Structure 1
């Protein structure tokens, strides 16, 4: 609630009265005005009359919004009018206000809470195992952020059915912040209801834009935020939103984020994605081409059908060698194509943000095609099992959870040479140069096999007490 005050008006007659009103009908239904009496606050309508005594003391008022800025709807602007009637004369003053924008967090903001989805031994053995491994990894990293487990849905993707955001305004001791959970614009994605059922409360709001389709492009894992920066005479104090498009198809949430007018969205064409061959070639050239390309063993516990009996996904760990992998011309050609797509994305980032080559650090990755997803899982039929769209062959270590100076990455299970996972070592070396300590967590069966990783399985609330104005 924002505070409003009026200065005391000492020379008023006993019949004097005042009103505080918002004239525009749309604006009025979207805000509430409060008056303070003693220690309590009371909702105050346009026709409420403040007495001579109240006006002489000065009014202590508050105002809050009942909605956010909306595309094609209320833009958050209001005009509050203070009117005083005395001895047949009318005096008035007004102030223009606007509801603060909804903003999304960037990874330079410190973590305050972590989210994931719960699992159990009967319905999802591997998710339950992932949560236990996640908790153990966080303990090993000596991070004490509270971990919230959604448990009212079998939806695994805590990154996708909502995006933690915030709104803030100036306060006497710095920004006053309200957490706002943004449900994905996927009306039939039941898991998203949990932000209203379990997260909304004191200090935390929840919001949903108009309901879009269940299409994966509307999952909130498709939204990230570039940290604050200045470039080409433009200032982005809260950073810029990044959204992936599929050619001409844009995410439903785009118009809502544009309506906030602060984090100017930057669009990337990720149509080549379904959601590090060099290091393998180097290993092959040193005489280790005959070792297994994947160091992980198959699980022997859990429901065997979850491993081997389902038609979709990459179930079970491939047994082929590095030589076998590098002899697959389709994979080699596909990775060359995807590398060009990555370079195009990097070049767009350089043009839009001013980053240089020295700011860009490569993490080893190998892509595969033909990834097949669950029916009715938000993947369009033409994108399912598509030979031209990329999925990660190894667990994608770039798709992890950033925790200030530590990074929780999916274990890539790369080839082991002289007792060392060459993929994991390469990842640790890259992030180590940037000041991050890397811990690895196994998400092969819980998420990688379904086309996602640690980042997709988690979410975070971060510290939003920074000025955006």
Structure 2
């Protein structure tokens, strides 16, 4: 019999410096030099260093397009209005600052000269400078409104919060070709226009003459460490409308040439001349992780030529900063979009019930048939749905577990496609065991804890008890990935006491109209025994659980089983430990928690691992106000299941409707239930992750 359990085989604020406002420059006496000047900067000239040794005085003359100021410990007066400075005393501290307010129309349009004197009438040297002024700005959407604004002062820094700033980058993890299964960021070409919306736009704005002086050029560059996380393409024009259609794809690839990647840390971008702007597209290629904080900075430099055989020198650098969008999980309180379930040879009645529930709830149902699932029915264990978000675009992203059973190809071969992303993490040096399945990965609704708000909830994972030396744990590579996303700070719960070991076996969340907007449901053996004791006291001791099945047992027989009671005392202690953690880490009161009457049995052959004694009602499918709950086959009282009656009394006051689904043979006896055998893709949060106060 196929079993569900997998057995072992043997506040951040980041800032980078902005524009280089001053550049030290050296004049040469009796020479005419031609340079490119970037508007918004200053040329700083130490006159004593370049003056002839016998110089005692200097004067300045320039065209009206050039501004200058002189400091020699104190500013020097400029009686001639800025275009001419009569001879002044030259000291070791005399510094000349040169600037321009507007870009040039032609090369070498502006002139500047400094004359040096032995005395006020003895000219001993003249340094002449021809200037070509250009405006350069590398721009991103730093204010997060979906528009790339010009020269935002915060474009090279990041700040969290609704009043924060900083550009956002998506990981291009979908596949524009649904028939060609390849994650887009694994391909170093832009094959379709639709691929560009998964990238972040960056605009290079320039203004100046038609061409730069010979040897000057613009270069994009990134650090080697950041090149592992990002790729940059540029535009180079579009095919003419008269181009035959069969040539369009070939020409299209040339329209978006690759500029930067891990093999090319620097790449020239053309200077277009005049008042122009060039679109660049930045592609995220990996999510934040243990070794990557999610921040990527990109630099644009104006390079100046040196003598033959020497490399160019950067004379101006503009910087921008991106933060890669995190992968975000969605809790039960968000609206469903699509329900996923497997079809197997023995789950016809289960599947029929799921179809009815989903249809009546008004959502889409996708069935994974046996040719794809290969008999693996545990849809919840294989995948976890989430999404990524930016001001200009968002799309769902499936996180694929490393369990690699029959459903292993489903997320990549079926889900991955246009605007549906894929990511996975696989341990290299650890065994993959049951705790690496994603029934062991849940997320809470939004909560506030000790004044700190988690508007996207908190991730919940199951691990071994802290004092256990040989227990099972979720693989570190998965835990590291979840922790690195930052926006849903994970909580570790104790789940290794369970035979399968998943947190969804003892807890879930349902929406509620009051208090915090939800209730935490916890399995509770104490509540189970309390219910069965009440039935005994009312004379229903002969009522039978599992009536008509080989497991049939009366309430009296169950209550007299001291071994089972001892096992459930142990289980209750384990759940209570988790209850205390959840109350503390999610800021819950007892009124926010509902205890469900569920008993467990402990199997010594499985290392004393616990499993639900009857179908585990907490392991439910939550579709808005409709709950698909495992049919518990409890004792019949007045022709009604007492456990179902109790569940309705707990859920219906919250406006929730209970539908009980028979999963006994096809799921429960294989150590799983309704939630284990289904999965739900939900709408994203309305709250944008970058508005978090971290």
Give your verdict on TM over 0.5: yes
Structure 1 residue aligned with 2:413:
197
Displacement after TM superposition at 1:190 (Å): 4.9
Deviations 1:138-167 (A, max 9, x none): 23x342323242542221111111211211
Displacement after TM superposition at 1:92 (Å): 2.2
Structure 2 matches for 1:354-365, cutoff 5 A?
A: 354-365=587-598
Structure 2 residue aligned with 1:260:
485
Alpha-carbon distance change, 91 to 384 in structure 1, aligned in 2, over 3 angstroms? farther
Alignment equivalent of 2:399, drawn from 167, 171, 182: 182
Pair 1:27-2:27 in alignment: no
Q: Higher helix fraction: Structure 1 or Structure 2?
A: 1
Report the more deviating stretch, 275-284 or 401-410: 275-284
What SS does structure 2 have at the residue aligned with 1:429? helix
Deviations 1:3-50 (A, max 9, x none): 334364222341377646342224224322233444966143145543
For structure 2, the residue ranges without an aligned partner over 5 or more in a row are 1-197, 240-251, 261-265, 307-313, 501-527
Q: Higher strand fraction: Structure 1 or Structure 2?
A: 2
Q: Aligned equivalents of 1:19 and 1:227: distance in 2?
A: 48
Deviations 1:293-337 (A, max 9, x none): 224x44xxxxxxxxxxxxxxxxxx412211111111111121122
Q: Aligned equivalents of 2:322 and 2:332: distance in 1?
A: 30
Alpha-carbon distance change, 190 to 439 in structure 1, aligned in 2, over 3 angstroms? closer
Displacement after TM superposition at 1:419 (Å): 1.7
Deviations 1:218-274 (A, max 9, x none): 111001001122212433232111111122443112122112222111111123222
Structure 2 residue aligned with 1:424:
644
Q: Aligned equivalents of 2:597 and 2:273: distance in 1?
A: 69
Alignment equivalent of 1:15, drawn from 190, 202, 212: 212
Alpha-carbon distance change, 278 to 22 in structure 1, aligned in 2, over 3 angstroms? farther
Displacement after TM superposition at 1:2 (Å): 4.0
Alpha-carbon distance change, 456 to 20 in structure 1, aligned in 2, over 3 angstroms? farther
Alignment equivalent of 1:286, drawn from 515, 518, 538: 538
Alignment equivalent of 1:83, drawn from 284, 297, 301: 301
Report the more deviating stretch, 283-292 or 146-155: 146-155
Structure 1 residue aligned with 2:336:
111
Alpha-carbon distance change, 191 to 26 in structure 1, aligned in 2, over 3 angstroms? farther
Structure 2 matches for 1:245-394, cutoff 5 A?
A: 245-247=463-465, 248=468, 249-252=472-475, 253-275=478-500, 276-295=528-547, 297-298=548-549, 317-370=550-603, 384-386=605-607, 388-394=608-614
What SS does structure 2 have at the residue aligned with 1:456? coil
Bigger-Rg structure (1/2) = 2
Alpha-carbon distance change, 142 to 111 in structure 1, aligned in 2, over 3 angstroms? closer
Answer yes or no: is the 8 Å Cα contact 1:18–1:82 preserved in 2.
no
Structure 2 residue aligned with 1:4:
201
Answer yes or no: is the 8 Å Cα contact 1:101–1:260 preserved in 2.
yes
Q: TM-score, normalization: structure 1?
A: 0.84
What SS does structure 2 have at the residue aligned with 1:390? strand
Displacement after TM superposition at 1:58 (Å): 1.1
Displacement after TM superposition at 1:391 (Å): 1.0
Displacement after TM superposition at 1:200 (Å): 0.7
Structure number with the bigger relative contact order (C-alpha 8 A, sep ≥ 6) is 1
Deviations 1:148-203 (A, max 9, x none): 425422211111112112111223xxxx32211111133x4352232111111111
Q: TM-score, normalization: structure 2?
A: 0.58
For structure 1, the residue ranges without an aligned partner over 5 or more in a row are 299-316, 371-382
Displacement after TM superposition at 1:103 (Å): 1.7
Answer yes or no: is the 8 Å Cα contact 2:541–2:556 preserved in 1.
yes
Structure 1 residue aligned with 2:287:
68
Q: Aligned equivalents of 2:303 and 2:226: distance in 1?
A: 24
